[in-house]
Amino acid sequence: MLGGASGTGKTQVSYRLAQHFAVGLTEVDDFQVLLERMTMPGQQPVLHFWRTHPDLGSLSAEQVFEQGLEVGRVMAAGLEAVIANHLAEQTPVVLEGDFIHPELAARPHFDDQPNDGRVRSVFLYERDETQLLANFALREPGDEPPTKRARASWLYGEWLKSEAGRWGQPILEARPWSSLFERLLRVVA
């Protein structure tokens, strides 16, 4: 599992990781989109929040951060089932996304499947909020800088860093990017 705040480089490095190990890659965002499509707002209000609240611009960065945490909490049960399935079928996969929380990664069992060291996780971390802002501006150019988004991502990264420590999960500085893949391989090994 490769977690981390948005804008830290998870997706880019996850493709290299999947290629290196010759395994599949699944982006957790795809599950969120699937679940949103397959449910009604009354069934999964957290997953529908972004579409059912027309005035999202009025939310603070802290509220955006909190909403992202809630999505991860809601997604945990489904992700546990996906991980358990891969463990039972013995089909390795790189699972990448914002909504992976350290508590999920630390579980000794996924449904009825023991972890037994078969599930590895790493959480990418970017300490510099201005770097996140620059990353978003490059990735999603627009008229206004994505300041609120960068702030929410930074808040999430700080939370992840604390939670990863609490749950004994590795956290890895995203920069320098030139050595990220090699550093990631060392942590996973």
Please, are residues 171 and 123 in contact by the beta-carbon 8 Å criterion?
yes
What's residue 91's pLDDT?
97
Instruction: Please name every residue paired with 94 in a beta bridge, in sequence order, or none if there are none.
Output: 25
Question: Taking residues 159-183, what's their average pLDDT?
Answer: 98
Q: At 2, is the secondary structure helix, strand, or coil?
A: strand
Q: What is the mean pLDDT of the chain?
A: 95
In this prediction, residue 85 carries a pLDDT of 98
Q: Does the pLDDT value for residue 123 go beyond 90?
A: yes
pLDDT per position as a tens digit, 141-167: 877 778 999 999 999 999 999 999 999
Instruction: Kindly report which listed range (23-37, 67-81, 107-121, 134-148) carries the lowest average pLDDT score.
Output: 134-148
pLDDT for the residue numbered 173: 97
CATH class, 2-188 region:
alpha beta
Q: Per-domain residue ranges for the chain?
A: 2-188
CA distances, 32 to each of 39, 99, 115, 135, 151 (Å) = 11, 9, 24, 23, 22
What's the confidence (pLDDT) of residue 24? 97
